[in-house]
Structure 1
Amino acid sequence: MSTNLKVAVVGAGGRMGKEVVKMVLEDKDLELVAAINRSHEGEDAGTLVGLSPCGVLVQTDLEKALSTSGAQVLVDFTTPQSVYANTVLAIRLGVAPVVGATGFTSEQIEDLDKQCQHKGIGGLIAPNFSIGAILMMKFAAQASKYMPNVEIIEYHGDQKLDAPSGTAIKTAELIAQNREEIRQGNPHEEETIDGARGAYYNGFRIHSVRLPGVFAQQEVIFGGFGQTLKIRHDSYERAGYMPGVNLAVKKVMEYKGMVYGFEHFID
């Protein structure tokens, strides 16, 4: 009998989902037991991601897949429109959700935490699984204690739907925990073009750049007397998120309740 951690992947045919399937199949401590996607039904999940056949066929019914596969963890990188319902379903079936999506309200996260606690399982909602990005957030939060004047610039491709990005919002939340609200800039400044100063958050600004050819970058800029500090993280491909996803899949089993933010999984 296999003692490997049994993993299901929903959105297995998507760009991030395929990377997750590859990661699971290539880790001897993990076992892919279900691959769920709206298309590619009946196709071998290994073949779908460019690897050798693995014997796991793509299914379209998430509830059936989780109920029959023995999955212990569900990894979900689908759309904001579907992740909440997927997460509720996974928890109800006793499967620990690891979710890489934005758009959850604080009320939803609180409710999901209660559901996880009731079931005695852990869960994770993370805007970003890049270890480098998490370190960038941690360093930025630390720096804000000493250099409270700050702005965030995040860069993504022109097809990204949300702005600011979930990573930028999470960074802003961590910074806000370490500094009092300070309304930066000239108190009499005036935007001659609406939005020129970016989105307002806790006294500082967040700027979202959307251009073709860009993958994912973020820069946090601190200003002080006679000096600036820039903390920047650049992602170049989706495979860079997989070490973090791998860690999250394994560590979520150690938790009870829903955790918001991958930084809690990094000591």
Structure 2
Amino acid sequence: MIKVAVAGAAGRMGATTCEAVEAADDMELVGRADPSLGTSVADVLEGTDVLVDFTLPDQVVANVQLAAASGVHCVVGATGWDEDELRAAVADRPGNVFFAPNFAIGAVLMMRFAAEASKVMSGAEIIEYHHPKKVDAPSGTAKRTAALMEGEVPIHSVRLPGIVADQDVIFGEEGQSLIIRHVTSDLASFMPGVLLAIRNVAELPESPVIGLEKLLWPS
């Protein structure tokens, strides 16, 4: 059994992750860390194999540094933190770190298709849509998509009630256009990717590893 603790357990993604872990036959939920629960990350590390972090951008690096230094592997779903800072914080730590800006399989396919289309289309722009409580803009998914594409890709952010997490990648060419769209209607869509990361983080060939595509299509 993989013993899992969740940081940000009282949040929307954290609570959904707790439910998914509890329903998995090969996992055991051993800790819920969240200020509203009166429990810190340090409180849940003992006896934990993997810490899943869905906290806030200003908390991620410290959480992951503490866990990885304790030999606990980390799966990070929170976005908006500094990648260079995290890499420095977990260098040569015994715990592995895996991060994905989006754990939905469809979103990873969208990014892969967009990267391919950008090689042959004249230009592209990204529009990402999220709920008003999302603290970072552009989203981690949009930034990751743009980074995988050829050329400069402008990103536009929309924050409105009623939206979970959607993204359009719009390509333009003379006489035609192409739109690659991913729509999320339920947080459950992220859970297969989260569970995949939990099951694989201990065996990563290097750390940190960024992007669910590294697990779906290992080279």
SS state of the match for residue 140, structure 1? helix
Partner of 1:86: 63
Q: How many residues align?
A: 216
Q: How does 1:47-86 map to 2 (within 5 A)?
A: 60-67=39-46, 70-86=47-63
* Structure 2 unaligned regions, length at least 5: none
Partner of 1:263: 213
Distance between the aligned counterparts of 1:19 and 1:100, measured in 2? 12
Partner of 1:216: 165
Letter in 1 for 2:138: P
Structure 1 residue 122: Cα displacement: 2.1
User: In the alignment, does 2:114 pair up with 1:140?
Assistant: yes
**Cα displacement string for residues 141-166 of structure 1 (whole angstroms, at most 9, x for unaligned residues):** 01111114101111112232221111
Q: RMSD of the TM alignment (CA)? A: 1.5
Structure 1 residue 38: Cα displacement: 1.6
Of residues 41, 51, 73, the one that matches 1:96 is: 73
User: In the alignment, does 2:5 pair up with 1:8?
Assistant: yes
Bigger shift: 89-98 or 247-256? 247-256
Letter in 2 for 1:93: S
Partner of 2:194: 245
SS state of the match for residue 207, structure 1? strand
Letter in 2 for 1:132: G
Alignment TM-score, normalising by the size of structure 1: 0.77
Of residues 25, 29, 34, the one that matches 2:26 is: 29
Letter in 2 for 1:168: A
SS state of the match for residue 115, structure 2? helix
Indicate the structure (1 or 2) with the bigger Cα radius of gyration: 1
* Contact 2:68/2:90 (<8 A) preserved: no
**Cα displacement string for residues 40-63 of structure 1 (whole angstroms, at most 9, x for unaligned residues):** 35xxxxxxxxxxxxxxxxxx1321
Q: How does 1:89-128 map to 2 (within 5 A)?
A: 89-116=66-93, 119=94, 121-128=95-102
Structure 1 residue 232: Cα displacement: 0.2
Distance between the aligned counterparts of 2:28 and 2:202, measured in 1? 15
Letter in 2 for 1:94: G
Letter in 2 for 1:80: P
CA gap of 1:61–1:40, structure 2 versus 1, over 3 A, is closer
Distance between the aligned counterparts of 2:167 and 2:193, measured in 1? 18
* Contact 1:153/1:219 (<8 A) preserved: yes
4+ aligned runs moved over 6 Å, structure 1: none
* Structure 1 unaligned regions, length at least 5: 42-59, 182-201
Letter in 1 for 2:119: K
Distance between the aligned counterparts of 2:27 and 2:133, measured in 1? 33
